[in-house]
Structure 1
Amino acid sequence: MRASNDDREQVARTLNTAMAEGRLTPVELAERLDQVYAARTLGELEPLTRDLPEHRPLIPPAISAPESAARSASPNAPAAPVRRIGGAATSSGAVAVMSGAQRKGPWGVPAQFNAVAFWGGVELDLTQATFATPTVTITAVAIMGGIEIVVPDDVTVVCNGVGIMGGFDDKAHVQGPPGAPVIRVNGLAFWGGVEIKRAKPRAVEGDGRISLEK
């Protein structure tokens, strides 16, 4: 599969972080960055971060024909990720000023969603959400407050936030299958925190489905 500019930038960010943590020397960083921007395919990019903690698989695992057929035949098979895309947005933002705000359950995420927490907390639960466009952007600003974003496994998350005397952490590290929605999270945490995390399996229901909890 051909590599995109976003794929190259993702790998470059991982390499720069590794150098800042002392995992790579400046010379090694320069050598790998040369390979990043010369790479044409995901197969050329993937090995460049494989020995680093922040490595994310870029090539989705192949599904064999029997497995694919079994999934299609099973009435309890999970919905294809592409079914999350489309429909109307039901909320364009969440603001918490010395209070709390929450978006959870079935809800529609617009192409651009803004979350602001000032001395307060915002919780965004995307496990049952649908997305108005294939790629959505969540701008999260936490000032002496906190924003928590809970994501399912069938999406791809790209995090570009900045923490100043605070934390802007992607603890989910999810890379969805081909066609999955892409969630870009950017913004600022100043004396506060923005945290992206996965939903956890909770229990198997009577019909065989797995429910999720944060």
Structure 2
Amino acid sequence: MSTPRPELRIGDRERDLVASVLQDALAEGRITLEELDARLDGTLAARTYADLDALVADLPVEPPSSALTSPRAGVDARLSTAPGTSPDDPLVLDAGWSSATRSGRWDVPPFLLLNGALGTVKLDCLEATPLAPVVDVEISGGMGHITIVLPDDWAANADRVTNAWGMSSVKVGSRPGAGAPLLLLHGSVGWGWLTVRHANRFDRRRVEKRALGRDERPGLTR
């Protein structure tokens, strides 16, 4: 164990590591979903190692001030430059009067903003790679339709989404599988419509066709 330095300032890498520890604690039944929400808020607000130490003091892990010495697997230099690395710079999908879609193979950053406006937004995560164990998703429904499609082991919590005059349908669980992320949704549906679901038959066929197309390209093998 390295010498604890609780007074040192932290960055996004350290916050992401603690978020991973907290998600594991939820999956193990050590904390409740409400406790996870509160502690994730504390993780985002943390400024020093001492702040992080307090969030995991009752869990069977080393204090972050002495244990956080290497990045979590899967989180690399992409997080330092790509949109979505902080609440102040989320990855934005804005439908405007038309549509906005993210699908295929792509990296899901820790922070997203989905704006339905007067169109449609589709966030297809079936072939995506999460860069953090918890993904903060702000919903701004407007009068549009926002659809989020998740793999079977991914989860979402929409307790902080208000409906106003719109409608929301969340058909996925709130506890992710081992190693899978949790999407924490907040914001307002407005006059629009929010759907969070797993893949249907059409989605699965489309993924299979994309995979087949990649396999058939010259120079590519299974």
TM-score where L is the length of structure 1: 0.55
Give the paired residue count.
135
Q: Which amino acid aligns with 1:137?
A: D
Q: Which amino acid aligns with 2:191?
A: W
| Aligned-residue offset at 1:8 | 6.2
Kept in 2: contact 1:155–1:182 (CA 8 A): yes
Deviations 1:50-108 (A, max 9, x none): xxxxxxxxxxxxxxxxxxxxxxxxxxxxxxxx98x535366511001111100000111
Instruction: Report the counterpart of residue 103 of structure 1 in structure 2.
Output: 102
Matches within 5 A, 1:67-78: none
Q: Which amino acid aligns with 1:3?
A: R
How many Å separate the matches in 2 of 1:200 and 1:173? Answer: 16
Kept in 2: contact 1:153–1:174 (CA 8 A): no
How many Å separate the matches in 1 of 2:142 and 2:187? Answer: 11
| Aligned-residue offset at 1:113 | 0.5
For structure 1, list consecutive stretches of 5 or more residues without a partner in the other structure.
Answer: 11-81, 210-214
How many Å separate the matches in 2 of 1:149 and 1:5? Answer: 25
How many Å separate the matches in 2 of 1:157 and 1:170? Answer: 8
Q: 1:110 to 1:151 in 2, by over 3 A?
A: same
Q: Which amino acid aligns with 1:130?
A: T
Structure 1 residues 177-186 or 192-201, which shifts more? 177-186
| Aligned-residue offset at 1:153 | 0.7
Matches within 5 A, 1:7-26: none
Instruction: Report the counterpart of residue 158 of structure 1 in structure 2.
Output: 157
Instruction: Report the counterpart of residue 139 of structure 2 in structure 1.
Output: 140
| Aligned-residue offset at 1:146 | 0.9
Taking only the aligned residue pairs, the percentage that are identical comes to 27
Identify the structure with the greater strand proportion: 1
How many Å separate the matches in 2 of 1:7 and 1:159? Answer: 12
How many Å separate the matches in 2 of 1:174 and 1:2? Answer: 13
Kept in 1: contact 2:155–2:172 (CA 8 A): no
For structure 2, list consecutive stretches of 5 or more residues without a partner in the other structure.
Answer: 1-27, 38-71, 84-90, 213-222
How many Å separate the matches in 1 of 2:94 and 2:168? Answer: 18
Q: Secondary structure at the match of 1:97?
A: coil
Q: Which amino acid aligns with 1:190?
A: G
How many Å separate the matches in 1 of 2:34 and 2:126? Answer: 25
RMSD of Structure 2 on Structure 1 (CA): 3.0
| Aligned-residue offset at 1:169 | 2.1
Instruction: Report the counterpart of residue 123 of structure 2 in structure 1.
Output: 124
TM-score where L is the length of structure 2: 0.53
Q: Secondary structure at the match of 1:185?
A: strand
